[in-house]
Structure 1
Amino acid sequence: MEYPRKEFVIRKVIEDVPSVENSTTLYEKEEHFGLTWKFLYGHENGYLSLHLMLDSDLLGSWSIETETSLKLISSNGTSSIIRENCNFRYRHHMWGWDDFMSWSTLLGSYMVNRKVTVEAHVVIKEMIGLDRKNLRKFDESVRDVSDVVVVVKDRRFYLCKEILAVQSTYFRSILFGNNEEHPEIEFHDIDPEDFQAFLELLHGESSVDDSTVEGILHLAHVYNTPMCVRRCEEFLIEKSKFKLDKKLELSLRYKLENLKPTCISHVTSVADVREIVSAEIREMDLHTSQALLRKLLIICD
């Protein structure tokens, strides 16, 4: 399975475009990966302005490398998009355009029934200086009580084979039968921060939150760790602030059979259906599509 990118989408339907007066800026505010982001949109000097802002008072040496796309979407199928690599850092929190498109072009070619949709799609490539606080140590300080070392992109994790093997059939198959006193396993295609959070959950810590759940879920799926999958699913059902479309996407990707019907049951309006459809979930299957259609018919009846 392809390793999940750290990405998010902030989407807003502007309901009454002609009423947005000049020199007006509005915004949508959402939490993603432990950070607060604002998607600003407005009418400035005869243009549609679009900006993405990291709403943060972080100090010091930190940076976030992203591929950011700002997009204008019409229900008639017309769209306009600008995509760039961006670096968010101290005193450089915002990126975008004051003149994304002339307001007259927006009204004449994109607005349908007085509405348009604006969207910010962000892929986080690298985060430096923003590592979460570890809940448990797997470093050199526990080397004397470990019997296996896992190396993830030059970061060494000192672990116990039995704990890994009891929870994961993947680790059981590669660890037992190895006669080395301190066998070493190397992974190149995973994120060390995701692996840290996964190990913390495996060792009984409460490491699941909206910034870690997707990375943990992916590793739990790859390493066949049912307990971690179950804990992540419980978090998504009970505590997560993810939007409905994101929860449904995760339920389909990782076959979370309790989360999926919960998502469907929370569809209560045409707007909810529109949000899910506009997300263009790649894992959407026929059964889920039919369930959404049945729900839509009930709503419209």
Structure 2
Amino acid sequence: MGVRRTKEHLHFYLHCPKSMDTVNWTIETQRKHVLVSNRVENKVKKGKQIFNNKTPAWGCEKFIKWAEMEKDYLVDGRLTAEIHIKIKKTTGIYKDNLRSFDKTMEEFSDVVLVVNEEKFYVLKLYLAAHSPYFKALFLGNFNDSKKSEIKLTGIDADDFQNYLELLYGEHPIDEYTCEGLLLVADMLDTPLVIRKCEQFLLKESKKTLKKKLELSTRFCLEALKKKCLAEIKSIGDLQAVLPGNVQDLDKSIMGELLEKSISLHS
């Protein structure tokens, strides 16, 4: 974050300094720039921008007049500035791809799947063998079945890349990719990917007990849920897995947590 003077105005900007080897990376954000004052209302400007390797910084050229800033927002020579960021979507920043599904694979594919404008060249029968969703899409009596290019919605391109890598024998699962893989596998009804993610959470993941229990209920991971419940051995453990608002607790787990609570109190 930076602020600087440009003639008679204050320039207020956000810079993404992270060096990335990937050529095509993006970070889609919602931003709120704030100057804090104890004399007048805070000065606020909102915006939506996409950061990438060509445009790593965004800001407000004329956020506020310099004289107004000195009069209403400067306190003992100090300025309090904040930027509130919500990251909506990212692509191409987490890891190098383990396998290519781009145009170089065209001769080995028979369909193109488009996810957020990114094209994946794949084999229909291979995906159909692992996913009832793709079996119905490619082999069923649907309009899309005969198309050479099909658009998939509601899926992140990075998550789909990891999903395909896992299906094709690579090992893209880690602490950062696991939840996205589960989201895609759940949407596309792919038991193999779900099973491998559950094994990672059972044997390798360092996620908190609370997060593991939440994932187990969200994606019906029974083995993981059983292990999580077994690890709740005190009232403190029980309190640690509960959400801040108990109303947010997944109803499918309420009964088992109640039984656990009764056993710990007896």
> Which residue pairs with 1:278 in the alignment?
243
Give me the whole-angstrom Cα distance separating, in 2, the residues matched to 1:259 and 1:66: 35
Give yes or no for the alignment of 1:59 onto 2:22: no
> Which residue pairs with 1:225 in the alignment?
190
Greater helix content: 2
Give yes or no for the alignment of 1:295 onto 2:260: yes
> Does the C-alpha gap of structure 1 residues 233 and 67 become closer, same or farther in structure 2, counting only changes over 3 Å?
farther
> Which residue pairs with 2:207 in the alignment?
242
> Which residue pairs with 1:137 in the alignment?
100
- Higher RCO (CA-CA < 8 Å; seq separation 6+): 1
Report the Cα offset of residue 181 of structure 1: 7.8
> Does the C-alpha gap of structure 1 residues 289 and 234 become closer, same or farther in structure 2, counting only changes over 3 Å?
same
Alignment check: 8 A CA contact 1:62 1:128 kept: yes
- RMSD of the TM alignment (CA)? 3.4
> Does the C-alpha gap of structure 1 residues 128 and 189 become closer, same or farther in structure 2, counting only changes over 3 Å?
closer
> Which residue pairs with 2:171 in the alignment?
206
Give yes or no for the alignment of 1:151 onto 2:114: yes
Give me the whole-angstrom Cα distance separating, in 2, the residues matched to 1:127 and 1:160: 26
Give me the whole-angstrom Cα distance separating, in 2, the residues matched to 1:171 and 1:128: 24
Q: Which runs of 5+ in 1 are unaligned?
A: 1-55, 69-83, 92-121
* 1:31-86 C-alpha deviation (Å, 9 max, x unpaired): xxxxxxxxxxxxxxxxxxxxxxxxx9943698674789xxxxxxxxxxxxxxx999
Q: Count how many residue pairs are aligned between Structure 1 and Structure 2.
A: 201
Greater strand content: 1
Larger radius of gyration: 2
> Does the C-alpha gap of structure 1 residues 183 and 86 become closer, same or farther in structure 2, counting only changes over 3 Å?
closer
Q: Which runs of 5+ in 2 are unaligned?
A: 1-15, 33-45, 58-84
Question: What TM-score, normalized by structure 2, do the two folds share?
Answer: 0.64
2:129 to 150, 166, 179: 166
Give me the whole-angstrom Cα distance separating, in 1, the residues matched to 2:237 and 2:146: 55
Question: What TM-score, normalized by structure 1, do the two folds share?
Answer: 0.57
Question: Aligned AA for 2:239?
Answer: R
Alignment check: 8 A CA contact 2:215 2:221 kept: yes
